[in-house]
Every structure is written in structure tokens, then in C-alpha cells.
Amino acid sequence: MDLRQLEIIRAIAETGSFTRAGARLHVSQSAISRQILLLEEELKEPLFLRVGRQVQITPAGEALLQLSHRMFADIRETCASIVDNQKTLSGTVNLVGGMTVCLYVFPRLLKEFRRLHPDVDIKIATGGTQRLLRRIRSGRADLGLLTLPITEPGLTTVSALREELMLVMPPGHPLERAKHPLDPAALVGEPFIIFEPGSNTRRVLDAFFLREQIQPKFVTETENVEIMKAMVASGLGITIVPFQSVAQEARNGTVSVARIRGPQLVRETGWVYRTGERVPRAVQEMMATLTRILPQLQLSADSRPPIDAAPAIAARRRQKSG
């Protein structure tokens, strides 16, 4: 058996005729028949049954047809990968992500990606999860970085980062003086500024409230983390958000953060793309770049601030000590 014979099987199956298969492959009908006969003698199984002027594929022929599809797909993908690796990356990557990702992950990610691949154009869209999933499914987006889980058919997800969710309150709030980590019971009766219903982050928080038997009082429900921070800083309530979204404000003292006692509150974010397609090299490089810069992101209160923030922090410490 060789690749040419597998190609002949595919041509017969797709055209329904030895004659039309020969015309497609630019060989005679007798040459097609000869190759099929050789295969049938080798396998001791018929591959096609002649029904009038048409042919019908047998189970053995169907098995070889599927093998043909897999082998030629592998050949195309391997050749494309080799060509990709021989040239400078160019073209366009259409990227989508939620608002928090766009604010706190994409800037550092895309700065590093642009440094490595300056000829690639990057287009970004944000919005609600379902809207972004529609863009990925329709092909208008190549890749998304979204809060997991995503279980939609036809989409592949790859976990990329885990963000710690922290309680955020205005400076001087009574909970700031309580014993840390905070007892969940201390949150009873507090006004909350919270993510909108339906989001995966909100599902994590709803599960926490249910587990701790807390019936929270919601002041505002929004997906805009900047609105949430501004309302907290103004004393309108408290919130629970990814630490990296308030890391700068916590260092500046405009808000105060605390852990809540019990299982660590986290949300998982991952890459999402269409299943069954060859992942373009530019998309693979985008995913690899995020892996490289993860140590620079402040995903939990235990992570160190980025290097470029260290001088400012050191200066503030010197001012306090002086």
C-alpha cells in the first residue's frame, strides 16, 4: 500500500466512479482499476462494490478512506508548519478577551509579542463571554483568553492562568482592622459591588456565598472592574475581584485588600480556539508568549510586583522611614 493508492481510494469515494476518479487524477480508468485490484488482493477484502454505473464503498474501503484523510491532513499540516517556521511571522491575529484580561493581561502580553514579532498586526475585541464565543466560532476571532470553564462544542480550551480573588474595601473600613484572613461571617450585611450574573467569575462568587450561607446585599452589578474599584474607593461598598486588578491601588493605599479564610478563591482563565483546525504559528506564539510573561503578572497577593514598579515602591518606603 502506498500514498498514491490511498489518493485513488479517496478520488473514487468522492466522485463515485472509477472513470471520474481517473479523470481527476489524470490517469486512465484501467490504471485506477489495476491499483484497486492490487490492494484488494493484498488485503483479501473488496474495497468497492459496483452497483450499475456507480460504485459503493465497503467497510474495508471506508477504513482506508479515513486513513487517507488522516495521512494527507498530517502531510499538509507538517508542510505548512515547516514553511511557517522558515519565514518571519506576519499577518493578523484577531484576539478577544474579557474586560479584566484586556486591562491587566493583554498590555504586557502584546508588548512582549510585538517585540518578538513586529510584523504581526493584532486586533482586539472585548465584550461579554457569549459575544466573544460567537466571534471565535464564526472565525472572526482566532483566539480568546476567557474565564473558564467553557464547554461549548467545537471549541478547545487550554488553561493559561489562575488568578486569586481578593476582598477589596476602602481604606479605614472596619474589616481592615479585623483579624486576617477574614472570617466569612464578617461579610454578612456588607454592601457588595459585584460582577454581573452569568459570568464565570460571578459563578465562583455565588458558589462561595452559598457555601458560607451568606445572603449578600448587592449595591451594583457590573463587568467593569474600573467602576467597581472607583465605587469601593468612594466608600459605597466592598467587592471581590482578581488581585492583579487592584495590585497598584493596594500598593498606593487607595484601597485595602484581604484574604477570606477557607479554600482560596480563584478564577481560571484559558485560551479558547476552534477545534479541529491547524493552529497557526502566530496563535501558537501568542500562547507561548503568555507562558513566558506569567512571572511578571501579579496573579496573587504573594506574587512580587513587576520589576518596573520596584523603584517607585522603594522610594515610598524610604519616604515613610524618613
Task: Give the pLDDT confidence score for residue 80 in this predicted structure.
Answer: 67
State residue 122's pLDDT score.
Answer: 96
pTM across the whole model: 0.68
Q: Where are the alpha helices (DSSP H) in the chain?
A: 3-15, 18-25, 29-43, 59-86, 99-104, 106-116, 129-138, 200-211, 225-233, 247-252, 281-293, 310-321
The DSSP line for 111-155 is HHHHHH-TTEEEEEE---HHHHHHHHHHTS-SEEEEESP---TTE
Q: How many CA atoms lie within 13 A of 134 on its CB side?
A: 6
Q: What is the pLDDT along the chain (322 residues), one digit of tens a residue?
A: 888 999 999 999 988 889 989 999 999 999 999 999 999 999 999 999 987 777 899 999 999 999 988 888 788 777 766 666 656 788 899 999 999 999 999 999 999 999 999 999 999 999 889 999 999 998 899 999 999 999 888 999 999 999 999 999 999 999 988 888 999 999 999 999 999 998 899 999 999 999 999 999 999 999 899 999 999 999 999 999 999 999 999 999 999 999 999 999 999 999 999 997 678 888 999 999 999 999 999 898 886 554 443 343 344 444 444 4
pLDDT value for 84? 62
Question: b vs e for 254-288, b when ≥16 Cβ sit within 10 Å of the residue's Cβ?
Answer: ebbbbbbeeeebbbebbbbbbeeeebbbbbebbbe
Separation between Cα atoms, residue 119 and residue 69, nearest integer Å: 34
Judge residue 82's burial from the number of C-beta atoms within 10 Å of its C-beta, 0-12 exposed, 13-18 middle, 19 or more buried: exposed
The domains of the chain, with CATH numbers, are 3-86 (1.10.10.10), 91-146+275-303 (3.40.190.10), 161-267 (3.40.190.290)
The pLDDT value given to residue 279: 82
* Terminal CA-CA length for the chain: 83
11: its cell numbers? 478520488
